[in-house]
């Protein structure tokens, strides 16, 4: 299959899964913003996306996207490392037009992955997982938290300062990953030319920045105890 | 007149493909700024031969930026720190007095070292043989006006065709990817009427050969276009991606 045994095919898989993940992040960010305006509204979203069949199916689809993206990421990076050969340059210099993030996508990806692990423990394991397994509800100060009370979990998680720091590092890694990844994905599909190069990079910068500010706002406002 | 400079040359010396290489330092005295980088190496080699030592082996031919034979990774850049020129067009006035200039061969699995600074770039010829040509009917030449081409298309094709196949793109790429070269070679024909007959086959065959020879997967870092002496842009790579993906979808 050409998606596996050609370089452009493998890149296309990275690109399409990456774009789908960006779309997911966009929805996720939009839903988080609800928590800034209305706790009830946010918990309604949590209930809607609890252990209902469509939310479970979507979660499995999402997990598949991640697995494919990550497996290909390691595969491609390993192949590229080999293609580079055994001897490295003694002196190297990065030209100005080369983004730092573009050369460190795997490192950034691994940080993103660690963040996802933490995030699943903080939220998913106390929400959808509890519902699916009829497991024990999470307890804060002797009060059982309903698996659909996302707002309480947000407040609890970000009341610990180190979680605020970890999440902000995570969001920064996502910013770097996507600042390159966004336009790169379009380039990989072939939707680029001399005119669109700078347009795509500008859109990339704005889109990624707005996305990450949206995520960071929830962390910071809840972390500071304002909400 | 350019003033003369003195500097230390740190050169990669390697006896053969399998031998272990190492850097050797050579002090250079009073080199005129108007000396080209390759002429400067010639001066050093004269000295070495005079002393009974082995001269430094490096590739070169036209010495005017059109053949693509010269290489050299100078101070962290293929074809040296100046943009848009080949090593043969690089002059010593671009360097500072007292500086250490590090000269390395292209380092990439696709271009193994033959000796010292010379690497084996036959992989590029092999990729060209896989499809980088057009078929021409023999017999009487057709009328020159029979195939009109717009100025924009002609310019675009000429830009892609200016690739000299030097391999700096691979040398610059952290993924050892040959995409800039292959995309320029596919582009120059894909957008001209003469290239249409083999268009679909060409994109597939050249990419397949490139992959088979072990070049890496392009991750769009843009190091290639920054270092390309002919300023080939990655818009060619986007075009190759389009050509390849649509060719595969048609299958
Ligand atoms: C929030 C999750 C993620 C999103 C939205 C995302 C998105 C993207 C996008 C859009 C690209 C560009 C694709 C292209 O150049 O065609 C990309 C590339 C890449 N991603 Fe991710 N990614 C995510 C998570 C990860 C993770 C967890 C890893 C690895 C552990 C990873 C590793 C990579 C690597 C190595 C590349 C470069 C590969 C290449 O360009 O060929 N990513 N990602
Ligand atoms: S694309 Fe540029 S760097 Fe690559 S072979 Fe052609 S001229 Fe050399
Ligand atoms: S020697 Fe021909 S391009 Fe430099």
Domains (range + CATH), chain A = 2-85+98-223 (1.20.1300)
In this structure, CATH architecture of domain B122-135+149-250: Orthogonal Bundle (1.10)
Integer distance in angstroms from the first to the last C-alpha of chain B? Answer: 62
Interface of B with A in 179-218 (CB under 8 A): 179, 207-208, 210-211, 214-218
Sequence ranges of the domains in chain B:
4-104, 122-135+149-250
pLDDT at B1: 63
A144 burial class (0-12, 13-18, 19+ CB within 10 angstroms)?
exposed
Q: Shortest Cα distance from A57 to chain B (angstroms)?
A: 29
**The pLDDT value given to residue A67:** 98
Q: Where does residue B18 rank: exposed (0-12), middle (13-18), buried (19+ CB within 10 A)?
A: exposed
- Among A5, A10, A18, A89, most B C-beta atoms within 10 A, so best to mutate, is A89
ipTM > 0.90 (yes/no): yes
Q: Among B80, B233, B241, B247, which would you mutate to test the A interface (most chain A Cβ atoms within 10 Å of its Cβ)?
A: B241
Q: State yes or no: pLDDT of B158 exceeds 70.
A: yes
Q: Hey, are the CB atoms on A193 and B23 less than 8 Å from each other?
A: no
Model pLDDT, residue A118: 97
Q: What is the mean pLDDT of residues B10-20?
A: 96
d(CA B42, CA B146) in angstroms, rounded, equals: 49
Sign of CA dihedral A44, A49, A54, A58: positive
Measured between CA atoms, the residue of chain B closest to residue A102 is B221
Of A85, A91, A193, the CB nearest to B102: A91
Residues in CB range of A225: below 8 A, 6 or more apart? A159
CATH architecture of the domain B4-104 equals: Roll (3.10)
pLDDT digits (tens, 9 = 90+) for B162-180: 999 999 999 999 999 999 9
Q: Which residues of A160-175 are buried (b: 16+ CB within 10 A; e: fewer)?
A: eeebbebbbebbebbb
Alpha carbon A177 to its chain's center: 9
The pLDDT value given to residue A140:
87
Judged by CB atoms closer than 8 Å, whether chains meet at A8 and B108 is answered as no
Position B3 scores a pLDDT of 87
CB atoms within 10 A of CB B19: 11
DSSP B74: E
Distance from CA of B207 to the nearest CA of A (A): 8
Q: Decide if B221 and A95 are in contact by the 8 Å CB cutoff.
A: no
For residue B171, give the 3-state DSSP assignment: helix
Report the C-alpha dihedral over residues B104, B106, B111, B115, rounded to 10 degrees.
-30
Whose C-alpha lies nearest to ligand 1, atom 12? A181
Distance from A209 to chain B by nearest Cα, in Å? 20
pLDDT band for A108, please (50, 70, 90 cuts).
very high
Of B76, B208, B235, the CB nearest to A192: B235
* Most confident region among A43-57, A139-153, B39-53 by mean pLDDT: B39-53
Q: Decide whether B4-104 matches B122-135+149-250 in CATH topology.
A: no
**Predicted confidence (pLDDT) at residue A209 exceeds the cutoff of 90:** yes
Report B:44-103 residues touching A (Cβ under 8 A). 73, 75-77, 81, 102
Q: What is the pLDDT of residue B2?
A: 78
- Span B173-231, pLDDT tens digits: 999 999 999 999 999 999 999 999 999 999 999 999 999 999 999 999 999 999 999 99
Residue B146 has pLDDT above 90, yes or no: no
Mean pLDDT over residues B94-118, rounded?
Answer: 97
Instruction: Tokens for A75, please give them.
Output: 């595969």
């Amino acid at each position: 299959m050409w998606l596996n045994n050609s370089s452009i095919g493998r890149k296309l898989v990275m690109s399409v899964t990456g774009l789908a993940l960006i779309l997911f992040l966009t929805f996720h960010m939009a839903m988080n913003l609800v928590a800034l305006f209305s706790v009830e509204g946010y918990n309604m979203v949590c209930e809607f996306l609890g252990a209902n069949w469509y939310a479970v199916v979507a979660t499995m689809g999402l997990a598949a996207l991640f697995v494919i993206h990550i497996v290909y990421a390691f595969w491609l990076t390993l192949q590229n490392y080999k293609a580079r050969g055994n001897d490295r340059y003694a002196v190297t210099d990065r030209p100005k037009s080369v983004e730092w993030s573009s050369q460190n996508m795997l490192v950034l990806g691994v940080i993103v992955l660690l963040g996802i692990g933490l995030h699943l423990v903080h939220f998913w394991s106390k929400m959808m997982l509890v519902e699916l397994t009829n497991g024990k509800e999470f307890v804060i100060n002797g009060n059982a938290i309903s698996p659909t009370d996302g707002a309480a979990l947000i407040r609890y998680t970000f009341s610990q300062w180190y979680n605020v720091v970890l999440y902000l590092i995570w969001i920064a890694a996502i910013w770097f990953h996507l600042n390159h990844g966004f336009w790169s994905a379009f380039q990989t599909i072939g939707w680029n030319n001399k005119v669109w190069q700078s347009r795509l990079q500008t859109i990339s910068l704005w889109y990624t920045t707005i996305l990450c500010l949206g995520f960071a706002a929830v962390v910071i406002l809840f972390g500071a105890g304002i909400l | 007149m350019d003033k003369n400079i003195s500097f230390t040359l740190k050169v990669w010396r390697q006896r053969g493909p399998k031998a272990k290489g190492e850097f050797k330092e050579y002090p250079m005295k009073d080199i005129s700024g108007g000396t080209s980088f390759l002429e400067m190496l010639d001066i050093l080699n004269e000295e070495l031969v005079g002393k009974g030592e082995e001269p430094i082996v490096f590739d070169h031919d036209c010495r005017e930026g059109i053949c693509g034979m010269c290489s050299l990774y100078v101070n962290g850049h293929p074809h040296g720190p100046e943009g848009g020129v080949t090593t043969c067009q690089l002059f010593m006035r671009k360097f500072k007095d007292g500086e250490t200039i590090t000269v390395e061969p292209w380092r990439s699995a696709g271009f193994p070292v033959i000796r010292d600074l010379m690497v084996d770039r036959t992989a590029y010829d092999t990729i060209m043989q896989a499809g980088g040509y057009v078929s021409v009917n023999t017999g009487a030449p057709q009328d020159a006006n029979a195939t009109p081409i717009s100025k924009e298309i002609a310019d675009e094709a000429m830009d892609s065709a200016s690739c000299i196949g030097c391999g700096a793109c691979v040398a610059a790429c952290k993924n050892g990817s040959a995409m800039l070269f292959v995309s320029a070679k596919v582009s120059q024909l894909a957008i001209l009427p003469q290239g249409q007959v083999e268009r679909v086959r060409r994109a597939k065959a050249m990419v397949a050969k490139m992959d088979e020879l072990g070049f890496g997967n392009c991750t769009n870092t843009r190091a290639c276009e920054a270092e390309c002496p002919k300023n080939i842009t990655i818009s060619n790579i986007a075009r190759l991606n389009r050509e390849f993906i649509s060719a595969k979808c048609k299958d």
